[in-house]
Structure 1
């Protein structure tokens, strides 16, 4: 589906990105400029840049896709993402900025009496979160390229070509432009993706959402399975029989033809009725929860999304770029306004997609190839498809530009957060503390390239292990995993460290290990279950049934921090009162205490 408008718009966005990066490269003479833009980013600029960082492929593509595929269950993503900055503005934004470091591992080091162990564990957690968050951006890049261009280059598939193109562009603009260039690019990219979402939202409202906003419509979704699996089971309850009951005669004729060919390993696309995990006795409808998650996962997912934002390194690092704590708070208030409206729009887009894809896809052969019986095989393609169906080639082009803007913006923030962790936290403090500024900046740029190449491998490897087939809204799912890890690893630690003076180094370390490690363990078990490694009914499948472990892991992490801090007083810095003044004092007092502590530290080293 080669689209001239889309190619031109995306190329224009890339050219603007490159020009800004080249212009701002002169601001990267020091690590403070490269990682934090000199701490001089204004309130409105930073709020749009934070939104650009936050409105990732999961927000632009994934939320609408989750609503399209799962109805109300998908709206939990919009609610969780939208409410996430409320606890940020209440508990973290101002204290974190007042403390005045570079990164979360830096905060750990300074808060707990120059603890090298705490910092290194923090670095490990930052990298894990970045990897989990980069993965869905890569999937979004591949899927969007597949819809936008549909062809691959240099022997690669369209999906692989999209992943490679985005990674190369992002490595260049982050390594060259640093935080200053990344911030300006994120601000522009935010307005591109925001207006692209608004166009789809407005067109759906003008044309009407249809019965999906008012009537109880049974929920059916497409699936790809082998003929052998399609025919398995007793007659009357086989997937074949279920598909026949809900598919149109014309679409089901293709299924019958595949079955009659007699190849049990052949793949066939069908539409199946969905089950209700909350009320198994009822027909699953689009307008009620229960499609993907039982009651435990419902609560756990929202908890992960609402609290997980407070631990995302690429979001929290942006608060260090504000000039003051007050500016950080006001920045977050602007962010709340932008994200509230954005997630309303994305939910409407998902609902409208159910109506317009089924009604209009037959008139466009290119989009018809992406569907079975009027439903998208990959729900993550809903936004570019809606752009084309509702606004023609220009609509597809502009939505595609918005999707790439979302990916560019978030990948840029993640790469620089990862680079800050490797370059500043590890290289500057342990490998070569006396390195000149130019070498420190160079190492940061090398870290950007290395992390970019690793994310490329992750993005290409995801289809190989079948994750895209195991989860109907994969992008939103993977981002929620990143939120779950950040929520378990960092949120209890940050809240206790900032608001409970008696938190000790050992308590913070134990909380991070339990929270981050426990989250990754349960996520891994869920992946093994959904990809069929654990057969249905096995003990492993039972362990992997919890898709979002936050409802258990976050309280457990809090409990571990409190217990270890109370019963093991090791790791409490002797100057905790000075730290408290630095966290909770006025901006002027916090800065004076920070400088005094740095001066005392320098004298101690001398």
Structure 2
């Protein structure tokens, strides 16, 4: 059944987005305006826009879903995302802005004595991270459309329709409005999704549902999640320990009757939706409980995931590029302080929603046939639908509509930032510097817009290909998982190199490049191995499956990148000729930089 409230709110959001983009079109006459909004974005506006960039589908849909599906293991997402801007404010924001370039590849080019190799490898990493981060946004688009509308257009499935709609809208608004239009759109979209989350939380509190009580009740029996198995698998094993017996014990009589009806037909290949006891990866001999770690992650993965989230933000190109839009380093610091406040509040609310959903949803299912289609004995088949379902339960069709608008706002905002980062990388870093350095401004802006269209097309193909690869079946909280992969690549490829480039003067070009290459591609390798293992594309006891045991590879790839940077740099020792001037740009105050320029002006005539 189509939700009129939801459709109306999403259409209103889309119309607002297009109007803002058209208004922002006037501020795209040159590349500084198109890519950086003229470097005139204030700290509160930029903080809201950064949060719009950052609070993606993984944040709005995925964190609550991860808590709902995995309990404490899901809560690590909230902790990691929430702490992620601390390294940014302490080590990155001010030096990056003070240096004053357009993009991360630009920074690497200038930091290493105008190194073209550094810029090109930086561009490659930006594109890879962008693709990894765009993928879960596409999954969020398809998932939200499926809940919101439930039917496809022009012969497409509901999932594919959602992906197409979001990609087309985002391509239009980013290409039209540039960074100025994108900034204002991200501000609006952030406050839509933020207030949607607040709405659900307030309604939960008003209904007297507490976080601690929900966690306690969720932990009264072993963790169960919906799954689909064949009748043969259901009846496999000793009586009393079979999935059949477990479900007869744990499901309500009404829900188990549906399972029994399929079994009675006598077809062992028939599939049935059941509740599957979850395995405890930390203590295999014990039942998995909601309030204990071990559902999704082994001992190493527990640390590795949080490390990926905390470090990964500092290397996300669409987030770090926003600091170049601030007018000064001081403004960049104030921006991050506001971001920290928004982030902390948002992720506390996400964790609350995920925990209470297991108590709220089951008794409501019997009242709503539409909800019944999404659940097995009151538990959602797809955890990523937690937020829209909670909105509907608490505030009816209006609640579902507002939460759906928030979900689309989260996707629009993040995809907009990613497309801008990708466009800046292709248009500014490659076209303006290597293909046509003397191009007129209109040509440079046009290439940026073409880059937006190209990256949007690639993200469309990735989004449509994810279900075909079976990833949605292999990972119960797929959106949050995929974003963490993007963070892992970002943390491994850029963060060690950026930290070394900013804080260790002896870092050489070769060291930085070797660190980026080993960290970035090392992370991608381990992620691919994990996908092959979880989708059973390789034998469980094979060497490749062993390599895929580590879900998030940063415990290996981040130290590896730091070690490679250090070893190669001390071996190479070839620093840029103007390293002192570079260091002054990174760390000097405005007064010190002015004094340095005056000294150079005085010395130059004497040298002549």
Give the TM-score category using the shorter length: over 0.9
Question: Of residues 350, 357, 362 in structure 1, which corresponds to 2:354?
Answer: 350
Q: Check the 8 A contact 1:222/1:269 in 2, yes or no.
A: yes
SS in 1 for 2:438: coil
- Change in Cα spacing, 1:190 to 1:250, as seen in structure 2 (3 Å) is same
Asked if 1:362 is matched to 2:370, the reply is no
SS in 2 for 1:110: helix
Q: Check the 8 A contact 1:582/1:594 in 2, yes or no.
A: no
**Separation of aligned partners in 1, 2:375 and 2:134:** 27
- Change in Cα spacing, 1:594 to 1:373, as seen in structure 2 (3 Å) is farther
**Separation of aligned partners in 1, 2:70 and 2:103:** 37
Asked if 1:582 is matched to 2:585, the reply is yes
* TM alignment of 1:369-408, pairs within 5 A: 369-408=373-412
SS in 2 for 1:184: helix
Partner in structure 2 of residue 144 of structure 1: 144
* TM alignment of 1:291-440, pairs within 5 A: 291-440=295-444
**Separation of aligned partners in 1, 2:597 and 2:471:** 47
**Separation of aligned partners in 2, 1:206 and 1:538:** 52
* TM alignment of 1:46-125, pairs within 5 A: 46-125=46-125
Q: Between 278-287 and 242-251, report the one with greater CA deviation.
A: 242-251
Q: Check the 8 A contact 1:7/1:397 in 2, yes or no.
A: yes
SS in 1 for 2:272: strand
TM-score normalised according to structure 1 size: 0.96
Partner in structure 1 of residue 226 of structure 2: 222
SS in 1 for 2:275: strand
Q: Between 477-486 and 552-561, report the one with greater CA deviation.
A: 552-561
Unaligned stretches of 5+ residues in structure 2: 601-608
Residue 229 of structure 1, CA deviation: 3.4
TM-score normalised according to structure 2 size: 0.96
Partner in structure 1 of residue 605 of structure 2: none
C-alpha deviations, 1:199-243, integer Å up to 9, x for none? 101111222336423343321100122334334445544433333
Residue 278 of structure 1, CA deviation: 1.6
C-alpha deviations, 1:338-394, integer Å up to 9, x for none? 010000000000011111111212211111100011000000000000000111010
Q: Check the 8 A contact 2:215/2:290 in 1, yes or no.
A: no
Unaligned stretches of 5+ residues in structure 1: 598-606
**Separation of aligned partners in 1, 2:205 and 2:293:** 23
**Separation of aligned partners in 2, 1:178 and 1:28:** 6
- Change in Cα spacing, 1:495 to 1:421, as seen in structure 2 (3 Å) is same
**Separation of aligned partners in 2, 1:113 and 1:266:** 65
**Separation of aligned partners in 2, 1:535 and 1:266:** 25
RMSD: 1.6
Partner in structure 2 of residue 277 of structure 1: 281
Asked if 1:464 is matched to 2:474, the reply is no
SS in 1 for 2:325: coil
C-alpha deviations, 1:111-140, integer Å up to 9, x for none? 111111111111111001000100100100
**Separation of aligned partners in 2, 1:546 and 1:122:** 26
Q: Check the 8 A contact 2:129/2:316 in 1, yes or no.
A: yes
Residue 596 of structure 1, CA deviation: 11
SS in 1 for 2:227: strand
**Separation of aligned partners in 1, 2:192 and 2:129:** 26
C-alpha deviations, 1:396-424, integer Å up to 9, x for none? 00000000000000000000000000111
C-alpha deviations, 1:416-462, integer Å up to 9, x for none? 00000011111111111111110000000000011001101111110
Q: Between 355-364 and 467-476, report the one with greater CA deviation.
A: 355-364
Asked if 1:173 is matched to 2:173, the reply is yes
C-alpha deviations, 1:121-173, integer Å up to 9, x for none? 11111001000100100100101000000010011000100000000000000
SS in 2 for 1:223: strand
Equivalenced residue count is 596
